[in-house]
Structure formats: C-alpha cells, structure tokens
Amino acid sequence: MMTLKVNGQNHEINADPDTPLLYVLRDDIKLNAAKFGCGLGQCGSCTVIVDGNAVLSCVTPLLLLEGKQVTTLEGLGTIEAPAPIQRAFMEEQAAQCGYCIAGIMMRAQALLQKNPKPSDEQIRAELELHLCRCGTHMRILRAVHRAIRLMDTADASSATAGSAQ
Amino acid sequence: MIGSVLAALVIGGAVAAFAIAWRPAIAAIDPPVPQSFDAALVKRGRDLAAIGNCNDCHTVRGGKDFAGGLPVPTPFGTIFSSNITPDAETGIGRWPEAAFRRAMRSGVNRDGQHLYPTFPYDHFTNVTDEDDRALYAYLMTRQPVRAPARANQLPFPLDQRVVIAGWKLLFLRRGTYQPDSMKGAEWNRGAYLVEGLAHCGSCHTPRNVLGAERASAQFAGGDVDNWHAYAINAQSPAPIPWDADALFAYLSDGWHPDHGVARGPMAQVVSNLSSAPESDIRAIATYMAGVFGAPTPDRKRRAEAVLAQAKSPSVQASEANAVGASIYAAACATCHGTERPLPYGGVNLGLSTALSGPDPRNATNIVLSGVRPVEGERSPIMPGFATSMNDDQISALLNYLRVRFSNQPAWPGIAKTIADARRTQTLFLQTSAGPRNAPADATQRDKP
C-alpha cells in the first residue's frame, strides 16, 4: 500500500512497486487522459507531469513516485474552465483523433512552466519524441505558440488553474 | 670566456627554437569560384569528409555546417573549433590548397600559426596529397559562413602557440601512410583510413599527461566528452567479440543485433560513415577486425553462453536488490527484456558493452538522457530517465544491471559518476539536436 498524490489528492494504492504509473492512473484512479500508446516510452501519449517534469507514465514504476506530485491533464483545467494550454489546443483545433494530444499538452505545459518563452526550435526539439499519426503537427505547434500568448495575458485565476506541480 | 659561451648557447638556443617554431605565412588567394573545382573531385572530398567526421567538431549543434565554434573540452582548457567554410574573412576562403595541405600535414594555419592538436593532425598527417586535394575541393565549394573564431580558454603558457611546436617535436610523426606489402589491398586501405583521416585513435586510445596518444596502448580505450570510448583492441570489453562482418554492419547502419546501438559521440561517427563508400567501410572493418584480433577459445565459449542466455532468458529467482529489479522490470524490460529484435526492441543487456565495460559513465549517461530522436529522420530512440529517478534510484538500477547482466565486479564510486553525469548531461539535454543523419535517400549520396 502506498500513497500517491495525483492532481492534489492523495490516493491509497494497492499495487506492486513495479506497476507502471499509467496503469494505476487509468485502472485504479480512473483518470483516462493519459493514454496507452506503445507501452514502451516511444510515442509519448502517456506523458504526465511529475514534480514539474514531463514523464512517460508507461515506463515509470510506482515505486519512483513516493512523495512526488503527479499532475495529469485532468489536473490542469476542466471543460468549463480550461487551462491556457487546453484552450489553445481547442482554439487551434489541434486534435484530429486526439489520442496523442493529452501527452503533447502535458509536455508543452511542462516546457512552458520552465521556459515561458521558448523558441519554435526549442518547442520542436522538446516535442520530437511525441508521435501524431493524424498529421496535425503544424496545428500543434500553433497551439503551443498560442498557449504562450494566453499564459502571458491570462488572468491570475486561469494561470493558477494551468499550473502543475 | 664563460660569458661568451653562455651567450652563444642562449643565442643558439633561441635560433634553434625559432627554427623549430617559426612557420612562414602562405600568401592569400582570392576565394576560388566553386565552378572551378571538378565535380567528381568534390564528390570524393565529400565521402572523405564523412569518413573524417569533420562536421562533428566543426559544426555547432543547430548551427551552420562547418562554421566552427564548437567548444571542445580538454584537460588543459576549452578549445573552439575553427570555421572551415570558404568565407574569405573568417573561414578558409583565402587559403590556397598548399595551405590546407600544410594544416592537415603539420597543423599550421595559413598565417603560419601552430594549431592545437585537438585538430587531429597527428592522424591527418597520414592523408595523401590526392585526398587532401579532394577534401579541399569539397570544403571550398560549401556555403561560406561568416563566423569569427571564438577565443580559446587556456591558461598561460598553453595559450602561447609556440608551445605547440614543442609538442609536435615530441609527438608528431610526419609522413603519409606506408602500405604493408605483406597485407592485402583492403587491409592497407583500412589501415590508411583508420590511422589517418578517420582518426579512430583520437578517442579510442588513452592519452598521456601532455595530451598525446600513448603509442604503447593503442586503441586501449579513451575519453571523449564525458563518455568512455571503449577499448577496440584485444582488451575490448564487448561480451560478444567483434568480427569484420559485425563491424561493417555496425559502422554502416549504426547498430548491430549482438552489440546494440551507437550513441554518444559515436552516433555522429556512424551517421557520417553511413554515407561513405561501402568499400571504405569494409576496409575499415577488415583492418579493425585484425586490431581486435581473433578471440581466444575461452572468450568464444563465454560469448556463446551469453548469446544463448540472451535468446532464452532464464527466470531470475530471488533479487537482492529489489528496488533495482523493480525499476528494471517496469522501465527497461519492456524493450530490453523482450525477444523483439533490434532495431525495434532494445538490445538484451547481457550483450551490452556499457554494462560489461570497466567505466560506468556510458551506462549512466544513457539511463539519464536516453537516445534522443533525430529531428525529421529515422533513428533509434530511448527515453531518458533523468527527471523520473533520483540519484539513489539510478544507482540502484545501475548496480542491479551490472550484477545481473555482466560477470564483472561492482563499479566503484557510482554515486559520483551519476552526479557528474547529471551536471554534464544538463547541457546535452538542453541543447541536443542530436546527430544529423546523412541523407537516408541513397540517391542523395551522389550529390556533392
């Protein structure tokens, strides 16, 4: 039994220490934003934020999360009050099938928290390991740039909603 | 009397030192027009530049090709690579071919200044006039880039270039490669390339306190950019002995099923070699297979056992290191512990030279940083774990991997290695665009 802190809430988890975080998020806590794509850390669709860093939850065993804060896409905002990154992706219609988008949004969020003004080159390099098979890459890039502008102008409340630990 | 002898000695010494150190400038020329070079010569120069890995040091990550400025850390200080584009003011645009050849042969620039041996002219001195001509033609037909030299960061007296003349006196053996008539043409071609332009020993041979390669320990393993360059002679720590076929495949494709994927500084090397002529890669493989030597019967037996174990892994009973075992199971085994072959799966770690070698830096670097995908290219990838594991967890994992997958004693000082790697890899993680592969499209290879 261990305590896992996700989106600000503590969860008592009964699972083997080598269980991937992704399985716990989806099966035990029923947070389905993070997706199972390849299960090998090669596609990025399972990306969540742990202590401010983008992490591939399919290759992150539970035992590495003792005392850490996990943030999933659900922790950033809601449909009624989307976080800047979520609003930007909706406004740019960056999702086609959407399977990869939750992971991409989380890595972009982690990047923007560390570096609020990344260059286009830095964004591309950061997102390089994410696969999108629908081909909305250009919209995804536009969405990240839009998120940069939104975060710059967002009022305090939505900025808070968009901040992951 | 004594006074005049002393005076004579001092003057004589000064004259001798001057004679050793002084090199004349070679007159500048107007930059030649690209069309003045024969296209076939340029193409040959391009292939040779790939073998020489020139773009690796002479290009900043994400910067313009051959424009220099890359900081090269050495035990003596940081030296910045030079601009070898044909820019008239900041590159080699005003260099005649004779000046280029002199730089390759004896490490002197057009002005007559000695060049630091980070530019490996101790190897390039072996290159023939003909090949220097082709390299010159290739470089002089590149896009000129205005990029002034960056000042080296060296302490006195190493910042005085005259010091280099003394280094050359001790360590530079001039003269082009002399073929060994007892060996075949392919072997000789390989020896010429390995000892010359490909300068393999620059990383794979350990250096002495003055930064020169130790001739008595050729290919016994060296250091490069916080990575260990493995021994590539009879002391090779590879679990499966290398042979000519494996070397050829690895140097052409960047990976081999029995050895894994080239990464770290070697990634750029194989990325360049993948576009070099097949016959030259074959020659390098033939020569190096001789350097590795035929494995002893005992080594062969051990290799067979490792391969058999890798093909049908036995279930591990009890694990002393539960944390390491759990991390391996969840984070590594999904790729490295399946029977999915390379390049789609990860190499079975029983075959990993990083784990069986004496130096833990490579395994540490790779766990922290992974293998970054190359933008817009097909390339091997592995996620890095720097942000998801703390030092204790990485230490537990590495200790587990070492015990389980090699028959070697535990690495000493692993905690310090991890701390050092984190410090040095931060830079890598932030800036790496990774190696840029040569054109995957084979038809591109014929273009200069």
pLDDT digits (tens, 9 = 90+) for B200-232: 999 999 999 999 999 999 999 999 888 999 999
pLDDT greater than 50 at residue A127:
yes
Residue with tokens 């590159």: B91
Exposure string over B412-428, b if 16+ CB within 10 A, otherwise e: eebeebbeebbebbeeb
Question: Would you kindly state where each structural domain of chain B is located, as residue ranges?
Answer: 15-171, 209-292, 303-424
Report the C-alpha gap between B122 and B197 in whole angstroms.
10
Show residues of chain B in contact with A19, CB under 8 Å.
330
Phi-psi region of A31 (alpha: psi -120 to 50; beta: other; left: phi over 0): beta
User: What pLDDT shows up at residue B15?
Assistant: 72
Give the pLDDT band (50/70/90) at residue B117.
very high
User: What pLDDT shows up at residue B21?
Assistant: 84
Contact B329 A56 (CB under 8 A): no
User: What pLDDT shows up at residue A100?
Assistant: 97
Q: Does the CB of B373 have a partner CB in chain A at under 8 Å? A: yes
Q: How many CB atoms lie within 10 A of CB B305?
A: 13
User: What pLDDT shows up at residue B437?
Assistant: 41
User: What pLDDT shows up at residue B344?
Assistant: 80
Q: Does the CB of B209 have a partner CB in chain A at under 8 Å? A: no
- A-interface mutation test, from B379, B387, B422, most A Cβ less than 10 A away: B387
How far is C-alpha B427 from the geometric centre of its chain's CA atoms? 19
User: What pLDDT shows up at residue B345?
Assistant: 85
The A-side interface with B (CB below 8 A) comprises: 16-20, 39-42, 50, 53-56, 58-64, 121, 124-125, 128-129
Residue with tokens 């090699």: B406
Torsion sign across C-alpha atoms B129, B135, B139, B140: positive
Q: Averaged over B390-394, what is the pLDDT?
A: 95
Of A55, A61, A125, the CB nearest to B327: A61
Q: How many CB atoms lie within 10 A of CB B106?
A: 16
Residue B61 — φ and ψ, nearest 5°?
A: -55, 125
Closest Cα in chain B, distance from residue A109 (Å): 15
User: What pLDDT shows up at residue B19?
Assistant: 76
Nearest chain A residue (CA) to B385: A55
A151 vs B435, which has greater pLDDT?
A151
In this predicted structure, which of B11-20, B42-51, B178-187, B296-305 has the lowest mean pLDDT? Answer: B11-20
pLDDT in tens, B307-327: 988 877 665 655 678 999 999
User: What pLDDT shows up at residue B314?
Assistant: 62
Q: Which of the 8 DSSP states describes residue B371? A: B
User: What pLDDT shows up at residue A57?
Assistant: 97
User: What pLDDT shows up at residue B356?
Assistant: 95
User: What pLDDT shows up at residue B341?
Assistant: 82
Q: HSE, CB side, 13 Å, CA atoms: give it for residue B423.
A: 7
Residue with tokens 């001789």: B290
For chain A, list the strands marked E by DSSP.
Answer: 2-6, 9-13, 47-50, 53-56, 69-71
In this predicted structure, which of B91-95, B133-137, B256-260, B433-437 has the lowest mean pLDDT? Answer: B433-437
CATH of domain B303-424: 1.10.760.10
User: What pLDDT shows up at residue B16?
Assistant: 73
Report the C-alpha gap between B144 and B408 in whole angstroms.
51
Q: Does the CB of B393 have a partner CB in chain A at under 8 Å? A: yes
Q: Between chain A and chain B, how many beta carbons pairs sit less than 8 Å apart?
A: 63
Q: Averaged over B367-373, what is the pLDDT?
A: 87
User: What pLDDT shows up at residue B182?
Assistant: 96
Give the pLDDT band (50/70/90) at residue B25.
very high
Q: At what angle do helices B265-273 and B39-52 cross, to 10 degrees?
A: 150
pLDDT greater than 50 at residue B89:
yes
Residue with tokens 């928290």: A113
Report the C-alpha gap between B267 and B281 in whole angstroms.
16
Nearest chain A residue (CA) to B338: A40
Show residues of chain B in contact with A42, CB under 8 Å.
381, 383
pLDDT greater than 50 at residue B44:
yes
User: What pLDDT shows up at residue B403?
Assistant: 92
Show residues of chain B in contact with A55, CB under 8 Å.
387-388
Parallel, antiparallel, or unpaired for β A53-56 and A47-50? antiparallel
User: What pLDDT shows up at residue B205?
Assistant: 98
pLDDT greater than 60 at residue A24:
yes
Report the C-alpha gap between B412 and B39 in whole angstroms.
54
Q: Does the CB of B372 have a partner CB in chain A at under 8 Å? A: yes
Residue A120 — φ and ψ, nearest 5°?
A: -60, -40
Contact B383 A128 (CB under 8 A): no
User: The tokens of B429 are what?
Assistant: 């993680």
Closest Cα in chain B, distance from residue A148 (Å): 19
Show residues of chain A in contact with B395, CB under 8 Å.
none
Show residues of chain A in contact with B393, CB under 8 Å.
64
Q: Does the CB of B321 have a partner CB in chain A at under 8 Å? A: no
Nearest chain A residue (CA) to B383: A41
- B-interface mutation test, from A36, A107, A129, A138, most B Cβ less than 10 A away: A129
Q: How many CB atoms lie within 10 A of CB B293?
A: 13
Indicate the SS3 state at residue B324.
Answer: helix
Report the C-alpha gap between B419 and B367 in whole angstroms.
13
Closest Cα in chain A, distance from residue B57 (Å): 21
A132 vs A164, which has greater pLDDT?
A132
Of A54, A61, A129, the CB nearest to B326: A61
pLDDT in tens, B142-194: 999 999 999 999 999 999 999 999 999 999 998 888 999 999 999 999 999 99
User: The tokens of B195 are what?
Assistant: 């000892």
Nearest one of B328, B333, B317, B352 to B400, comparing CA atoms: B328
Indicate the SS3 state at residue B436.
Answer: coil
Show residues of chain B in contact with A63, CB under 8 Å.
323, 326-327
User: What pLDDT shows up at residue B340?
Assistant: 82
Show residues of chain B in contact with A54, CB under 8 Å.
387
Asked if B105 and B121 touch (Cβ cutoff 8 Å), the reply is yes
Of B326, B335, B382, the CB nearest to A18: B326
User: What pLDDT shows up at residue A113?
Assistant: 96
All residues at 6 or more sequence positions from B13 whose CB lies less than 8 Å from its CB, including other chains:
none
Report the C-alpha gap between A25 and A4 in whole angstroms.
10
Closest Cα in chain B, distance from residue A82 (Å): 27
Residues of chain A by 3-state class (helix, strand, coil), percent to 5: 45, 15, 45
Q: HSE, CB side, 13 Å, CA atoms: give it for residue B187.
A: 9
B448 vs B289, which has greater pLDDT?
B289
Closest Cα in chain A, distance from residue B385 (Å): 8
Alpha helices, DSSP H, located in B231-370: 244-253, 265-273, 278-292, 297-311, 322-327, 333-336, 353-356, 361-369
- Structural domains in chain A, CATH included, are 2-75 (3.10.20.30), 84-159 (1.10.150.120)
